[in-house]
Amino acid sequence: MYSNFSKIFTIVSNARLKFGLTKDGAKAQNIYTSTFQLHTDRPVSESYLEMCKAFNSQKIIHELYSFAVDTIKLKFLLKNLEISGDYIVVNPNASDLRIERRWPQENFSELINKIVYAYPENKIVLIGSSAESNYVNNILAGINPSLQKSIVNTAGKLSIDELIALISGTKLMITNDTGPMHLSFAMKCRTLALFGPASPLQFGNHKNATSVYKKVSCSPCVHDHIKPPCGGDNICMKGIGVEEVFEEVVNCIEVKGQGAKVIL
């Protein structure tokens, strides 16, 4: 849709119909038989679903796929992780597709310290892939040693099915803008998402989500530049303060039935 790889894949597919997204209405060097507008001021799903209307007149459903989770397997997983009560999942990672989406690791450490002090009855569960284990370990090392008994580090230890089950039972998901965030949205979990290189108007617009977003002059940049204009110095994410995120954590935990909102 946005990358050179996808254009090459489209060309060699030999498909009769080739659909693509564009911001200016061009056909991208005549690669596509039809192009559709990529809207940056509304959920990206609407741009994708516009394609469906070209060949299907049925009613379009905007909801994400809802994963079915085996409650027995979830209980077994929580028992293995020694989690017996409420827990908060924290995802400090972002894939290398755009690593600038990560909030600084020292901010995550400080935030977790504050959450454990304020809500000692909740376990904090860190997640991440095997490749992200060292990064997550560095965040864990920045947490007060006296509080680490309240932390469960699952980085590199869960299958995708186990990750989905874990997220499904969380009291709150705190995450950068990346894959596990969308899993949380799909399972209608209370989610606090941190945005910078991408806009929450496109990717965080879900009814159970609170998005904290610092719109600097070059944001959003994800689908406009192969390399970020900041050269890796993600000022959009660094501009998000620990105190304002913690304030939203409190709101998410203590204010019941709160709908989606974006904090600028």
Would you tell me which CATH number, out of the four given (3.40.50.2000, 3.30.360.10, 3.20.10.10, 3.30.1480.10), belongs to the domain 71-263? 3.40.50.2000
pLDDT score recorded for residue 222: 79
Rama region for 60: left / alpha / beta (φ>0; ψ in -120 to 50; rest) = beta
pLDDT score recorded for residue 225: 76
Every domain of the chain and the residues it spans = 4-52, 71-263
Beta strands in the chain (DSSP E): 19-22, 34-37, 87-91, 123-126, 151-153, 172-176, 191-195, 209-213, 261-263
pLDDT score recorded for residue 262: 67
Provide, rounded to the nearest whole percent, the portion of the chain with pLDDT above 70: 93
> What rounded mean pLDDT belongs to the chain?
88
- In sequence order, the 6+-apart residues with CB closer than 8 A to the CB of 172 are 88, 89, 189, 190, 191, 192, 249, 252, 253
Taking Cα atoms as reference points, which of 232, 250, 75 lies closest to residue 165? 75
pLDDT score recorded for residue 145: 95
**Cβ atoms of residues 206 and 185 within 8 Å:** yes
Buried b (16+ CB within 10 A) or exposed e, 3-22: eeeebeebeeeeeeebbbbb
pLDDT score recorded for residue 2: 56
pLDDT tens digits, one per residue of 187-223? 999 999 999 998 898 888 788 899 999 888 888 887 7
pLDDT score recorded for residue 159: 94
- What span, in angstroms and rounded, lies between the C-alpha atoms of 171 and 188? 11
Taking Cα atoms as reference points, which of 202, 225, 224, 248 lies closest to residue 103? 248
Mean pLDDT of the region 123-136: 96
pLDDT score recorded for residue 9: 87
Range from 33-37, 60-64, 110-114 carrying the lowest mean pLDDT? 60-64
Return phi, psi of residue 71, to 5°: -65, -30
Q: What is the dihedral of CA 79, 83, 89, 91, to 10 degrees?
A: -70
Mean pLDDT of the region 101-116: 97
Which residue has tokens 């989690």? Answer: 83
Confidence at 29, pLDDT banded by 50, 70, 90: low
**The pTM is what?**
0.89
Question: Cα separations (Å) of 82 from 1, 74, 87, 89?
Answer: 42, 12, 11, 14
pLDDT tens digits, one per residue of 138-196? 999 999 999 999 999 999 999 999 999 999 999 999 999 999 999 999 999 999 999 99
**Cβ atoms of residues 38 and 23 within 8 Å:** yes
Find the helix or strand (DSSP H, E) in which 136 lies.
helix 133-141
